[in-house]
């Protein structure tokens, strides 16, 4: 279905189903897509934001990723690190000094299969996304990010609740039930009084217990979203056309995968490239 509709990845349906449930993109004209490659979420934002444009107003979408990404019409692309102040400054410059209405992040690490490790790395990536979001999001704006639901996730919810009074964990139907993946939907950005965004320090390194010995953890609502009568992401379906009368024809991906930069670095390491460079010095 993603190929037939022209999406770069199946993940486009996840953002669309979250938006159907929470109506996040209504009236939005400035958006930031973090960890954007290959660009399916940027495609969804581009389609929705163009519909929101008023006369004399132009929607702007800034997509950020360490990897290169094939161009998308109406999307400004930045190849940069979301943990750097310079990246936040670049994003704001494209909005003429204003702030974004929404920040989304579908980034995830290459999973190892060790769930505790994967959950920890994903939590750190989410906090990095939250940190840059505090630099570029306007008060009242929304933040959506991928999250791995593990046993210690309530502490992460507590950190998000510091900045967003309304936090919900959502599971789109297009996300496999067998996966611990979910999406955290944070609404009405309200930073603490006198809070100054800072890239130099980890964001709110909270202890699991308060000073009085009570638990410093939060339970947030969980919502399953998407059409329950639609396709099941855990099922395999026969390759048939919508009418069922025509023979299925293979459709190539809209964008082929791009080799991750770290893979070439690992190959150079195996061949002794970095050792040779150090020896020359």
- pLDDT cut 90: percent of the chain above it: 34
pLDDT at 136: 94
Average pLDDT of span 155-166:
88
Catalytic residue selected from 30, 60, 146, 171: 146
Q: Is 33 assigned to a binding site?
A: no
Which of the residue ranges 10-24, 219-233, 239-253 has the most confident prediction, judged by mean pLDDT?
Answer: 10-24
146 is catalytic: yes
Average pLDDT of span 8-34:
92
Q: Which residues contact 24 (CB under 8 A, 6 or more apart)?
A: 18, 102, 142, 144, 185, 187
The SS3 assignment for 137 reads strand
pLDDT at 92: 92
Q: Is 106 assigned to a binding site?
A: yes
Q: CA–CA separation, 188 vs 142, rounded Å?
A: 6
- Asked if 159 and 203 touch (Cβ cutoff 8 Å), the reply is yes
pLDDT at 63: 95
pLDDT at 222: 81
- Asked if 26 and 142 touch (Cβ cutoff 8 Å), the reply is no
- The CA distances from residue 88 to 42, 62, 66, 121, 158, in Å, are 18, 11, 14, 22, 24
Cis peptide before 241 (omega within 30 of 0): no
Determine which of 111-115, 205-209, 259-263 has the lowest per-residue pLDDT on average.
Answer: 205-209
Which of the residue ranges 49-63, 163-177, 249-263 has the most confident prediction, judged by mean pLDDT?
Answer: 163-177
Closest CA to 172 of 12, 7, 1: 12
pLDDT at 132: 92
pLDDT at 205: 54
Q: How many residues belong to the chain?
A: 281
Q: Is 101 assigned to a binding site?
A: no
pLDDT (tens digit, 9 = 90+) per residue, 29-85?
A: 999 999 998 899 999 999 888 887 776 678 899 999 988 888 888 899 999 899 899
- Asked if 36 and 23 touch (Cβ cutoff 8 Å), the reply is no
Q: CA–CA separation, 232 vs 180, rounded Å?
A: 16
Which residues make beta-bridge pairs with 143? Answer: 103, 186
For residue 206, pLDDT over 60 is answered with no
pLDDT at 203: 61
Q: Is 7 assigned to a binding site?
A: no
Higher pLDDT, 56 or 188: 188
Q: Is 118 assigned to a binding site?
A: no
- Asked if 31 and 66 touch (Cβ cutoff 8 Å), the reply is no
Higher pLDDT, 233 or 77: 77
Closest CA to 106 of 160, 73, 148: 148
Higher pLDDT, 205 or 138: 138
- The single-letter DSSP state of residue 258 is P
- The single-letter DSSP state of residue 239 is -
Summary mean pLDDT of the chain: 84
With residue 20 as reference, give the H or E element that holds it. helix 12-22
Higher pLDDT, 154 or 133: 133
The SS3 assignment for 245 reads coil
Q: CA–CA separation, 258 vs 69, rounded Å?
A: 8
pLDDT at 264: 78
Q: Where are the alpha helices (DSSP H) in 56-152?
A: 85-94, 115-136
pLDDT at 195: 83
Average pLDDT of span 106-113:
83
CA atoms within 13 A on the CB side of 162: 19
For the chain, list the domains and their CATH numbers: 2-225 (3.40.50.150)
pLDDT at 137: 94
Longest dimension (CA), the chain: 69
Beta strands in 17-81 (DSSP E): 30-34, 60-65, 75-79
**Burial class of residue 246, CB neighbours in 10 A (0-12, 13-18, 19+):** exposed
pLDDT at 281: 65
Please identify which residue in the block is written with the tokens 């107003």: 57
């Amino acid at each position: 279905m993603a190929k037939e509709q022209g999406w770069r990845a199946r993940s486009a349906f996840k953002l669309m189903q979250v938006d159907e449930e929470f109506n996040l993109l209504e009236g939005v004209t400035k958006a930031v897509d973090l960890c954007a490659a290959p660009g399916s979420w940027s495609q969804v934002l581009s389609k929705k934001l163009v519909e929101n444009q008023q006369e004399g107003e132009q929607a702007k979408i800034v997509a950020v990723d360490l990897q290169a990404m094939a161009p998308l019409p109406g999307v400004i692309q930045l190849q940069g690190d979301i943990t750097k102040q310079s990246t936040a400054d670049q994003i704001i410059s494209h909005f003429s000094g204003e702030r974004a209405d929404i920040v989304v992040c579908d980034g995830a690490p290459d999973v190892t299969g060790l769930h505790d490790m994967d959950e920890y790395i994903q939590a750190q990536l989410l906090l990095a996304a939250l940190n840059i979001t505090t630099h570029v999001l306007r008060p009242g704006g929304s933040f959506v990010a991928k999250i791995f639901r593990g046993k210690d996730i309530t502490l992460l919810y507590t950190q998000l609740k510091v900045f967003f009074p309304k936090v919900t964990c959502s599971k789109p139907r297009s996300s496999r039930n067998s996966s611990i993946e979910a999406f955290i939907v944070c609404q009405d950005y309200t930073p603490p009084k006198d809070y100054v965004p800072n890239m130099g320090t980890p964001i709110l390194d909270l202890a699991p217990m308060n000073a009085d010995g009570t638990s410093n953890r939060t339970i947030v609502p969980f919502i399953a979203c998407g059409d329950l009568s639609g396709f099941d992401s855990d099922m395999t379906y026969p390759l048939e056309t919508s009418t069922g009368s025509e023979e299925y024809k293979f459709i190539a991906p809209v964008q082929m995968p791009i080799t991750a930069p770290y893979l070439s670095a690992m190959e150079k390491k195996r061949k002794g490239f970095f050792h040779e460079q150090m020896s020359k010095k």
